[in-house]
Amino acid sequence: MVLKVSDVSAFYGKKQILKDISFPEIPQGSLVGLLGPNASGKSTLMRCISGEKKCQGTIEFKGQNINETSQKLWYDVVATMPQTPPSPTALTPTELMWSTARSLALPLSDKDLARKIETIFDNLGLRSFELSPLQSLSGGKRQLVGLALALIRDPELLLLDEPTAALDLQWRMIVLDWVKKRVEETQTIAVAALHDLDMAARFCNILVLINEGEIVAVGPPEEVLTTGNIAHVYHVETELGLSQRGNLQIDVIGPIASRG
Amino acid sequence: MELISPLIIMNNTSSLYVNFLRLNGRRYLILAGLSIALLASLWLDLIAGPAGLSAGQILSGLLDPETLELRYRIILWDVRLPDALIALAVGGALGLSGIETQTVLDNPLASPFTLGISSAAVLGASFAIIVEPVIPFVPSYAILPTLALCGALASSAIVLVVVRVSKGSRGMVVLFGIAMFFLCDALASGFHLIADADAAQQIVFWAIGNLTKAGWLEVTIVSLCLLLIFPFSMRQVWVLTLLRGGEDHARSTGVNIAGLRTWVIVRASILAAFAVCFVGTIGFVGLVGPHIARMLLGEDHRTLLPGSILCGALILSLASALSKTLIPGVIVPVGILTAVVGVPMFLSLLFKKKGQF
Ligand SMILES: Nc1ncnc2c1ncn2[C@@H]1O[C@H](COP(=O)(O)OP(=O)(O)OP(=O)(O)O)[C@@H](O)[C@H]1O
Ligand SMILES: [Mg+2]
C-alpha cells in the first residue's frame, strides 16, 4: 500500500472545489495521470496531496497520514512541480537548485550537491543553460528547470502539475518516458496532471479523470479514455483507434453542440 | 589502491561545481572591491571639509589623537568621524532594508519608503518641531528622533497588520504602503500649514536628510541595529534566493511565505526606522543601492545582501564627501546629493547591462 486518497474535499472560501475525491490505493512504481478540463480541480488536488492546502478527508503515503506527519518530514518525501514555471528573473538555474537544496537542508556536501544538479541537468538537457539567467531561457526550458527543482530531493512521491505543457514534441516524450522509467526503477510514485490524452494513455499506468471536482473514472488508460467519458468531460466528439504500433490515438471530430 | 591520482579527482569534480565556484569567487572579489571603494570614500569624506586639516594631519590624528591640536582633535573626532560613520551605517541599513523588501515583495520599486516608513518619520518629526512636546525622561534634543522613530515604527506596525490580515499578499502590502505614504504626507503637510517660516524650514531641512547632526551615540545606535539584524538576514539567504524563483516554487518547497514576509518586514522596518530617525529621509539609497548591488552581483543573496549594504553605504558616503566639497564653505544637505550620486551610477550600470537585470 502506498498512496491512499479517500474522501478528500477542499474549499476556497465557501466554494467547494473538490468533492469527496477517492481512488483506489496506488501501488509503488506507478505513474498516475490526472486528467480533467480546465478548472476541474487538478492543481487543487495536487496542492492537497503536497500539503500546501488544507483539506478534509484522508491522504496517506506509505502508511503516514498527512495530518499526523510533520511538515518537514512530508516535504522530505513529497516534491511538487507547480504549474507555473520559475519566474524569469536574473537568477540562474544552478543558483535556484542550490538555494532550494540548501533551504530544504538536504544532507549533501557542496561537491555532491553539484554532481547531483549536474546529473539532473544532463538528463533534462539544461547543461548549456546552467548559469544563464532564467529570464533569458525560453518558456519550455524554464519549465524543465521547474521539473529539475522537484527532482533535487529524490522524492518518493513526485507531483507534476502539467510538466509538459510548454514542451516541444521531443521533450514531451523524453520527460514522460524518463519519469516513467525513474518511477519503475526506484519503485516510487509520480502523479502528473496532463492535458495531452495520447501521451497520458501511452505513459501512465493509471488514469484519474476528474470533472468539476468529482471523480469521473479511475483505472487503466483503456478503461478511462472512452468516447463516452471524453464526451462527458470535455464536450467533444471523438473516435478512438490504435496506431500501427498499438498506441491509442484520439481523433477529435468536433465539439458536441448541446453543452451541459 | 587507495592512491587516487589528481587527474581522477579533477574528473570527479563536476564542471558545474567548478563554474559555480568560479562565479561565486568573482562575486566575492566584487565584494572586496566594493569594500575597498568604501574605505576610499570614507577617507575622502574624512578629508573633505572647511577646517583646513591636511590629509597627513588626519591620518596621524586618527592613529594618535594626541598629535593634533585640541581644536582639530574635536573637529576630527567629534564632527567628521561621526558624520562619516553615520553615512556608512545609515547607507548600509537602508541598503539591507531595501534589498530584503524588494525580494520579499517581489517588486523592484519596493523600498522602506514605499512601505510608508519615511513619510511616517517625517510626520513624527514635524510634530516634534511644531508642537515641541515634552516627554518625561526624554531629553529635549532626543525628542525629535524619538518621535520620528515612533512614527516610523507605528507605520511599520500597521503595515505588518496588513501583511497578516492579507495572509501575505504582496499586492496588498505594496498598495497599502503607498496609501500610508500619502496619508502621512497629507498629515505632515497639515503641520506645515500651521508652522511659522522658521519651523517650516526646519521641517524641510529635516525631510531632505542630512548627516551633520549625528554624534557618536547615533552612530552607535544605527550600527548596532545593523550588526544585530544582519545575522538574522544572513540566516535566510537561501530562502530569499529561492523566492526569486517565484512564489509558487517557494511554496512547493515548504516555505511559509506569509511568515517570511512578516519577519523580513519587521527587520526592514526596524532598520529603516532607526536609519531615518536621526538623519531624515535619505530615501533614494534604499531603492537604488539594492539595484546597483543586484546588477553587480546577481541574485544569490549570500553575496547580494552584503553587497547591498556596501552599495548603500558607498552611495551615502560619496554623497557625504561631495556635500562638503561641492560648494566651498557650504554643506549641501546630503539627501539632495544621494540622488545626484546614485542616478549616474545606476544609469551607467543600466546601460551597460542594456536594461537586463
Ligand atoms: N487561489 C484560489 N482562490 C480561489 N479559487 C481558486 C484558487 N485556485 C483555484 N481556484 C478555483 O478552483 C477551481 C479549480 O482550480 P484548479 O487550479 O485546481 O484547476 P485545474 O484543474 O488545475 O485547471 P487547469 O487545467 O486550468 O490548470 C477553479 O474553479 C478555480 O477558479
Ligand atoms: Mg492546474
Say yes or no to pLDDT of B6 above 80.
no
Say yes or no to pLDDT of A223 above 80.
yes
Query: Is A98 in Cβ contact with B248 (below 8 Å)?
Result: no
Tell me which of A235-244, B107-116, B259-268, B281-290 is least confident. B107-116
Band (pLDDT 50/70/90 cuts) for residue B355 is low
Band (pLDDT 50/70/90 cuts) for residue A260 is very low
> Which of A12, A84, A209, when mutated, tests ligand 1's pocket best, judged by the most ligand atoms within 8 Å of its CB?
A12
B222-254 tens-digit pLDDT: 999 999 999 999 999 999 999 999 999 999 998
Torsion, Cα A110 A112 A113 A118, to 10 degrees, reads: 120
DSSP per-residue codes, B102-133: HHHHT-TT--TTTTTHHHHHHHHHHHHHHH--
A contacts of B25 (beta carbons < 8 Å): none
Q: Which atom of ligand 1 is nearest to A41's Cα? A: 18
Nearest neighbour of B246 by CB, restricted to A84, A92, A118 = A84
Q: What is the pLDDT of residue B10?
A: 47
In the three-class reduction of DSSP (H, G, I as helix; E, B as strand; rest coil), residue A220 is classed as coil
Q: How many residues does chain A have?
A: 260
Q: State the CB neighbour count (10 A cutoff) for residue B299.
A: 23
Q: What is the pLDDT of residue A1?
A: 57
Quick one: closest CA in B to A158, which residue? B252
Band (pLDDT 50/70/90 cuts) for residue B198 is confident
Chain B, window 145-184: residues with a beta carbon less than 8 angstroms from a chain A beta carbon:
none
A36: alpha, beta or left? (left if phi > 0; alpha if psi -120 to 50) = left
ipTM over 0.95: no
Query: Is B242 in Cβ contact with A103 (below 8 Å)?
Result: yes
Q: What is the pLDDT of residue B9?
A: 44
Band (pLDDT 50/70/90 cuts) for residue B1 is very low
Question: B109 C-alpha vs ligand 1 centroid, how far in Å?
Answer: 30
Query: Is A80 in Cβ contact with B252 (below 8 Å)?
Result: yes
Q: What is the pLDDT of residue B277?
A: 86
Helix spans in chain B (H) = 6-12, 15-47, 55-63, 70-74, 81-105, 117-131, 140-165, 170-194, 197-208, 216-235, 237-243, 247-252, 257-279, 283-297, 301-325, 334-352
Report the share of chain A in percent with pLDDT over 70. Answer: 98
Tell me which of A227-231, B22-26, B291-295, B327-331 is least confident. B327-331
The conformation of residue A154, written as its DSSP 8-state character, comes to -
Band (pLDDT 50/70/90 cuts) for residue B3 is very low
Q: State the CB neighbour count (10 A cutoff) for residue A245.
A: 7
Q: What is the pLDDT of residue B28?
A: 97
Q: State the CB neighbour count (10 A cutoff) for residue B209.
A: 26
Q: Which atom of ligand 1 is nearest to A47's Cα? A: 18
A24-75 tens-digit pLDDT: 999 999 999 999 999 999 999 999 999 989 899 999 998 888 988 888 888 8
B56 CB-contact burial (10 Å; exposed 0-12 / middle 13-18 / buried 19+): exposed
Query: Is A81 in Cβ contact with B245 (below 8 Å)?
Result: no
Quick one: closest CA in A to B19, which residue? A131
Helix, strand and coil content of chain A, in percent to the nearest 5, comes to 40, 30, 30
Residues B290 and B272: their CA atoms lie apart, in Å, by 14
Residues B76 and B83: their CA atoms lie apart, in Å, by 10
Q: Which of B307, B281, B244 is nearest to B24 (CA)?
A: B307
Residues B164 and B173: their CA atoms lie apart, in Å, by 10
B109-147 tens-digit pLDDT: 888 777 888 888 889 988 888 888 888 887 877 888 889
Residues A122 and B204: their CA atoms lie apart, in Å, by 60
Q: What is the pLDDT of residue B224?
A: 95
A contacts of B238 (beta carbons < 8 Å): 99-100, 102-103
In the three-class reduction of DSSP (H, G, I as helix; E, B as strand; rest coil), residue A107 is classed as coil
Tell me which of A43-57, A109-123, B190-204 is least confident. B190-204
End-to-end CA distance of chain B: 50
Q: What is the pLDDT of residue A256?
A: 85
Q: Which of B61, B170, B30, B195 is nearest to B109 (CA)?
A: B170
Q: What is the mean pLDDT of residues B264-269?
A: 90
What integer best gives the mean pLDDT of chain B?
86
Q: What is the mean pLDDT of residues B317-329?
A: 88
Cβ neighbours of residue A250 closer than 8 Å, sequence gap 6 or more:
A197, A198, A201, A225, A230, A238, A239, A240
Cell, residue B123? 510626520
Report the share of chain B in percent with pLDDT over 70. Answer: 94
Q: State the CB neighbour count (10 A cutoff) for residue A37.
A: 15
Query: Nearest C-alpha of chain A: how many angstroms from B235?
Result: 10
DSSP per-residue codes, B314-356: HHHHHHHHHHHHSSTT----HHHHHHHHHHHHHHHHHHHTTT-
